[in-house]
Chains A and B, each alone.
Chain A
Amino acid sequence: MTNQQGPAIQVNGLEKSYKELRVLRGVSFEVARGSIFALLGSNGAGKTTAVKILSTLLKADAGTARVNGFDVAAQAADVRESISLTGQFAAVDEILSGRENLVLVARLRHLKDPGGIADDLLRRFSLTEAGGRRVATYSGGMRRRLDIAMSLIGEPPVIFLDEPTTGLDPQARIEVWQAVKDLAAGGATVLLTTQYLDEAEQLADRIAILHEGRIIVNGTLAELKRLLPPAKVEYVEKQPSLEDVFLSLVGTKA
């Protein structure tokens, strides 16, 4: 469905209020095709609202947004063909098995051979063994992996990930990061929201900081770093972080 030229996502002057609360006060940005874009902000900054508008779940009060060349208000159906949304909480069916979840989404996207698609994704996300088990028995990381696997069905060119690693343990976080990197390597455009600075640093080609409903900076990591005074050279003993200790003890190669 990459039938359109130009940026994968174009947002211009987006505004949204809930009663008196002005959540978005004129948000504008663009995301280039095949890149990873991080929308960084603290809780309540408006990240989820922006994602919901871009994925046609909410209507903006003002401004325009185009996803894969389609207007989110006027061409919502085309936008939905072009995207997948992975919300803040793993949107998986607990009562079904992992494989059944994948088959369900493949059917709802009207694809041929849902079973084959499901088996292929289970393999890619190392869930083959767990595929027949009910999702209720999965760990948080497995659930998130399944969630992301469900988002890849039909290979939508634009993928929204709303706080994909919130509430995950360090290992699961690394698994999700790897999955996101693989997605972008496969040509997809990824917009992710996060409140973790290191996550944006690790993954994103461009980072925008959303604060009180406005984008206050937007640039590459190098550009953002240049906003501060040049680094001074100091000699500091390199102590392992607790995360390094934890990961080496439980035996994961980070």
Chain B
Amino acid sequence: MAKHFFGDTTVLLGRSLRHITRSPDTIITTAIMPVALMLMFVYVFGGAISTGSGTPYVNYMLPGILLITVASGIAYTAYRLFMDLQGGIFERFQSMPTARSSVLWAHVLTSLVANLVSLVVVMLVALLMGFRSAAGVPAWLAVAGILTLFTLALTWIAVIPGLTAKTMEGASAFSYPLIFLPFLSSAFVPTGTMPGPLRVFAENQPVTSIVNAVRALFAGQPVGDDIWVALAWCAGILVVAYGFAMRVYRRRIT
């Protein structure tokens, strides 16, 4: 049935995109939390935070906020997948002469589109709050590439609870630690003031390199090694999560 893979995926992608346009609240609720965090950090804490970089604080923390947006957005990916399994429509698709993996890929692509829209919403709010970038077209493309890769990696992580969860809460709870991770990184404050072990963790976890790379790209500065470390993290997480998710998926459909 592989000959129908692209056609079937397109049909199913159309279906889930229609779900999103009919409940745009999923996009809005995805964007609300990062926007609220951004408001709080810029207008409440921001004045007291010294980043030592001389740039407006909103410029400093936007990369971290974007990662939080993706981390909260993929909870809906798991939720949508879980609902399909619960409702029985997943089994209907699996018992039809349809390319079987299309069902999964349609969810993954939908996740990319939905997160992209949420990212744009958050970015627009940041612009209103005074975010400005010196980045040229290549730098923007690099930012888009990193965020896409990051979204894909997290989406494949989200597929796992989507396929295995027993309850709706269980399907989305995995995203909480992912949302929290940027707080233990260079996203909001420089890591230099953190105590020893925490600092070691913060400087060596994936979020820091991604944040540093995106921040440098936005500022139009050289990115150094951070971008390669960031890409390596994203690609590594993607490969491991994909492999694990496919294993869970195969067990689920046989």
Binding site for B on A (CB under 8 A): 55-59, 77, 80-81, 83-85, 87-96, 100, 104-105, 107-110, 134, 150
Listed A/B pairs (30) with beta-carbon separation below 8 Å: A57-B94, A59-B254, A77-B97, A80-B1, A80-B95, A80-B96, A80-B97, A81-B97, A83-B95, A84-B95, A84-B96, A85-B91, A85-B92, A87-B88, A89-B87, A90-B88, A91-B88, A91-B89, A92-B87, A93-B15, A93-B89, A94-B87, A95-B23, A96-B15, A108-B12, A108-B93, A109-B98, A110-B4, A110-B7, A110-B97
B18 within 8 A of A: yes
Not counting A81-B97, A105-B92, a sample of 16 additional A-B residue pairs whose C-beta atoms are within 8 angstroms of each other reads A57-B253, A80-B1, A80-B95, A85-B95, A87-B88, A91-B91, A92-B89, A93-B87, A95-B23, A96-B15, A100-B18, A107-B11, A108-B11, A108-B12, A108-B93, A108-B96
- B19: Cβ under 8 A from any A Cβ: yes
- Which residues from B are CB-within-8-Å of A55? 95
Task: Give A58's nearest chain B residue, CB to CB.
Answer: B254
B1-40 interface bits toward A, Cβ cutoff 8 Å, 1 = contact, 0 = none: 1001001100110010011001100000000000000000
Which residues of B come within 8 Å of A, CB atoms? 1, 4, 7-8, 11-12, 15, 18-19, 22-23, 87-89, 91-98, 253-254
Chain B residues with CB under 8 Å of A77's CB are 1, 97
Residues of chain B contacted by A84 (CB below 8 angstroms): 95-96
Q: Top 8 nearest A-B pairs by Cβ distance?
A: A91-B88, A91-B92, A85-B95, A55-B95, A87-B88, A81-B97, A107-B11, A80-B97
Q: Name the A residues within 8 Å of B22 (CB-CB).
A: 95, 134
- Please give me the residue from chain B that is nearest to A87 by CB atom: B88
Which residues of the other chain, B, contact A88 by a CB distance below 8 angstroms?
88
With A57-B253, A104-B11 in contact, is A95–B18 under 8 Å at CB? yes
C-alpha spacing A32/B31, complex, angstroms: 57
Kindly state the separation between the CA atoms of A109 and B92 in the bound complex, as whole angstroms. Answer: 12
Chain A residues within an 8 Å CB radius of B8: 108
Distance A13 CA – B107 CA, assembled complex (angstroms): 38
The complex places the Cα of A73 from the Cα of B19 at a distance, in Å, of 34
User: Considering the chains assembled together, what is the distance between the CA atoms of A242 and B12 in angstroms?
Assistant: 45
B92 touches A87 (CB 8 A): yes
CB distance from B82 to the nearest CB of A (A): 14
* A42 nearest CB across to chain B (Å): 21
Which A residues are in CB contact (< 8 Å) with B96?
80, 84, 105, 108-109
Q: Is the pair A96, B18 in contact by a Cβ cutoff of 8 Å?
A: yes
Report the Cα distance A84→B254, complex, angstroms. 18
Nearest-CB residue, chain A, relative to B83: A94
Q: Give CA–CA (A105, B88) in the complex, Å.
A: 14
Give the residues in chain B near A94, CB-CB below 8 Å. Answer: 87
Bound-state Cα–Cα, A94 to B88, Å: 11
User: How many Å lie between the Cα of A109 and that of B95 in the bound state?
Assistant: 11
Q: Max chain A CB contacts within 10 Å: which of B8, B18, B97?
A: B97
Closest CB of chain B to A227's CB: distance in Å? Answer: 35
Q: Enumerate chain A residues within 8 angstroms of B253, measured Cβ to Cβ.
A: 57
Among the listed B23, B91, B98, which residue makes an inter-chain contact with A108, where contact means beta carbons less than 8 Å apart? B98
- A85 cross-chain contacts in B, Cβ below 8 A: 91-92, 95
Q: How far is the CB of A245 from chain B (nearest CB, A)?
A: 34
For B15, the chain A residues whose CB sits under 8 A away are 93, 96, 104
A59 and B254 CA atoms in complex are apart in Å by 6
Q: Evaluate contact between A95 and B95: CB separation under 8 angstroms.
A: no
- CB nearest neighbor in A for B20: A95
A158 CB to closest chain B CB, in angstroms?
11
The docked-state distance in angstroms from the alpha carbon of A83 to that of B98 is 12
Known: A77-B1, A95-B22, A104-B15. A89 touches B97 (CB 8 A): no
